[in-house]
Structure 1
């Protein structure tokens, strides 16, 4: 019985030793693979370095080893900053991906709006408006514009008064009366007939209006 237990223990020890040997062999193979890879990379690196040196020498470029070392040190020292830059680029790329459909839709809406404006005549209106501006610029000088700027308040006050309801009504009445007169068939009046017409109610009111109008103009002129 003791011999059987001892044999089992020996077998267990042998099994564990086999596992240890397998692990050791695997590590040896891994180390050998790493050494082979390192050797291959060293050869490739040397060849690449030699090729770069040759190309630089042929191109007449002198490479400062100290400058290269400082560049590598700066690169390593600022690796966090470089990572942040790449993260910013990734964020910008994601933003462009998100905003591209919106910009595309805005472009389509803008084209549609411009088409509608052209169909309604807005484009032609703006074009003719530019022609108006060109005519104004070519017709008036800089001094004219300066005078306009100096008197813009007076002009705006005049426009304000002209756009009052009573003034618009009076102007409209004058236009209606003028349109009702046939300027090509004006009757002739003799002095006697003119004197007789002055006795009419309409002429007396007209003369009264003219006298009142002229007196008010004179009064306003004296105030200034």
Structure 2
């Protein structure tokens, strides 16, 4: 019985020793891998350093080690500022992600509105304004524009008066009457016929309009001359 217990303990010790040897072997393999990696990185770093030195020498660039030291110190001293900039950049990226869909909607709505303007003919209308502007520029001198600027108030006042309903109605009637006339078949009037037509109610009313108009114009001219 004691021999069996001793043999069991020996077998347990053998298993534990195998585990320990396996662990030691694994650690040795890991150390070998790390050593190989460090060796490879050393070779790569040396190659990069040599290549950098060659390129700097080709381009005749000299580096002062003290400047590199100052750069490293400056970088370390401004780690907080760099972190602040990175945080700001991160917030800007997040904001752009949120604003992006809104901007897309605005662009889509703006494009639709432009399409609506195009269908209504706005762009074609403004395109046709180009020749009109060319004719105005070529047809008027700078002096004419200065005179127009001096008289613009009077011109606008006249236009304002012309847009009164009574004036527009009179102008519309005059245009209708002119369009209804057959200019090629206008009859000839003798003096006697003119005198006879002047006795008609229409001619009397027309003469009344004409005389009243001329009297009012003469009155305004007289008032302006007196003011001067």
- TM bucket (normalised to shorter chain) is 0.7 to 0.9
State how far apart, in whole Å, the 2-side matches of 1:79 and 1:98 are: 29
Whole-angstrom distance in 2 between the partners of 1:45 and 1:85: 33
C-alpha RMSD of matched pairs (Å): 2.9
2:153 paired with 1:153? yes
SS of corresponding position for 1:128: helix
Cα deviation, 1:58-84, whole Å, max 9, x if unaligned, reads 331111222222222222222211111
Once superposed, which parts of structure 1, at least 4 consecutive aligned residues long, lie more than 6 Å away? none
Residue in 1 aligned with 2:117? Answer: 117
- The answer to whether 1:90 aligns with 2:90 is yes
Taking a change above 3 Å as real, the CA distance of residues 68 and 210 of structure 1, as seen in their structure-2 partners, is same
Can you list the C-alpha shifts for 1:140-190, whole angstroms capped at 9, x where unaligned? Answer: 222222221111100100000000111111111111221222111111111
CA distance in 1, matches of 2:42, 2:191: 128
How far apart are 1:46 and its partner, in Å? 7.1
Q: Which residue of 1 aligns with 2:100?
A: 100
Unaligned ranges ≥5, structure 2:
1-26
1:177-196 matches, cutoff 5 A: 177-196=177-196
Cα shift readout 1:83-136 (whole Å, capped 9, x = no counterpart): 111112112222222222222233333333323332332222222233333332
Looking at structure 1, the residues matched to 92 and 56 of structure 2 have their Cα atoms a distance apart, in angstroms, of 36
Counterparts of 2:55 and 2:206, CA distance in 1: 106
Inter-CA distance 76–200: structure 2 relative to 1 (3 Å threshold): same
Partner of 1:167: 167
Label 1:183 to 1:73 Cα distance change in 2 as closer, same or farther (>3 A): same
- Partners of 2:201 and 2:119 lie apart in 1 by 57
What CA deviation, in whole Å up to 9, does each residue of 1:24-79 have, x standing for no partner? xxxxx9xxx8xx88xx4995797354553343223311112222222222222222
2:141 aligned with 1:141: yes
Task: Provide the secondary structure at the position in 1 that maps to 2:187.
Answer: coil
Q: Aligned to 1:151, what secondary structure does the other structure show?
A: helix
TM-score when scaled to structure 2?
0.72
What SS does the corresponding residue of 1:184 show, helix, strand or coil?
Answer: helix
Paired residues in the alignment total 192
- Secondary structure of the equivalent of 2:63? coil
